[in-house]
Amino acid sequence: MKRHKIIVGNWKMNLTVPESTLLLERLVKTIKAEKTEVVVCPTSLAIYSAQEIVRTADIKIGAQDAHFEDSGAFTGEVSAHQLKGFVSHSIVGHSERRKYFGEGDKVVAKKAAACVRHNITPIVCVGETLHEKQDDLTKLVVAGQLEASLADLTGDEIAKAVVAYEPVWAIGTGHVCDSKVANGVAKNIRNLIKVLHGAKVADSVHILYGGSVDELSAESFLKEAEIDGLLIGGSSLDFQKFTEIVNLAEGRVEPKSKKSNTKKSVPKPKNTKKKK
């Protein structure tokens, strides 16, 4: 099945509302997406103004998170119900939410279901830590997170959802995941969905890769058969870099992959055994 590419920019806790407005106005002028779905996720403060700016552009607005309750005594939270009509997508289960706010798979599952309930496409994030990778637990960890995080969705709902493989050890660290390895994880994700919900659902769901992706490394991931797009962090804050990544997804420009890549390789586990 032919799936279109999706490029998502996660701005995280960066940019004021005026700064977000300026960046979006630049992106509106430079991004032309004919066959690629482009989603930008600013802070919740900037969502309303952002949605107005991109109303006639080839860009959609997403949220960085969404609470699973529609309303209530949850100080500081923003619900999927409140986001409805302003965003097309919402990231849920990002490793930073899991790590810093203690969100487990059950919470992620409830958030994904809330998004679907309010016609928002969930971008469900899964990924292993460095220690889990070094212990060769990637497949087990990702499978466990995936099954639990999608537990409250039906097969038809999963088919319309997005899964993002974001190895924790590659997010904001400069460490780069080999595109072939990432494609292998994406294939495992699709195979698990196939086992649980059937081939039609597995063929329909979009699987993205995220983790220190920039305009230099994007092409290698976009060429992989099982990777349907990218979840971009830091590079999405630079309108030139983000635009170039979108153009790569569109097949519109020559890649810069021939340039030297200075990213760090993944650290290998230390051998603590003493030599005899």
**Per-residue confidence (pLDDT) for residue 260, from 0 to 100:** 40
Is residue 256 domain-resident? no
Q: Which residue among the candidates 166, 215, 226, 244 is catalytic per the annotation?
A: 166
Query: What is the pTM for the complete model shown?
Result: 0.92
Task: Please say if the pLDDT value at position 64 is more than 60.
Answer: yes
Is residue 205 domain-resident? yes
**Per-residue confidence (pLDDT) for residue 174, from 0 to 100:** 73
Is residue 20 domain-resident? yes
Task: Please say if the pLDDT value at position 217 is more than 70.
Answer: yes
Catalytic residue check, 175:
no
Cross-strand pairs, 238: none
Q: What is the mean pLDDT of residues 231-253?
A: 95
- Percent pLDDT > 70 in the chain is 91
**Per-residue confidence (pLDDT) for residue 262, from 0 to 100:** 43
CATH of the domain at 51: 3.20.20.70
Is residue 271 domain-resident? no
pLDDT tens, 112-145? 999 999 999 999 999 999 999 999 999 999 999 9
Number of domains in the chain: 1
**Per-residue confidence (pLDDT) for residue 258, from 0 to 100:** 45
Catalytic residue check, 215:
no
Structural domain of residue 131, as residue ranges?
5-250
Is residue 182 domain-resident? yes
Distances (CA, A) of 221 to 75, 92, 249: 39, 22, 10
Is residue 32 domain-resident? yes
pLDDT tens, 148-175? 999 999 999 999 999 999 999 998 777 7
Of 253 and 230, the one with more pLDDT: 230
Contact 166, 126 (CB under 8 A): yes
pLDDT tens, 193-210? 999 999 999 999 999 999
**Per-residue confidence (pLDDT) for residue 274, from 0 to 100:** 47
Is residue 274 domain-resident? no
- Percent pLDDT > 90 in the chain is 88
Is residue 260 domain-resident? no
Q: What is the mean pLDDT of residues 74-98?
A: 97
Question: Given pLDDT bands bounded at 50, 70 and 90, which one contains residue 95?
Answer: very high
Q: Which residue among the candidates 94, 118, 197, 206 is catalytic per the annotation?
A: 94
Q: What is the mean pLDDT of residues 54-79?
A: 97
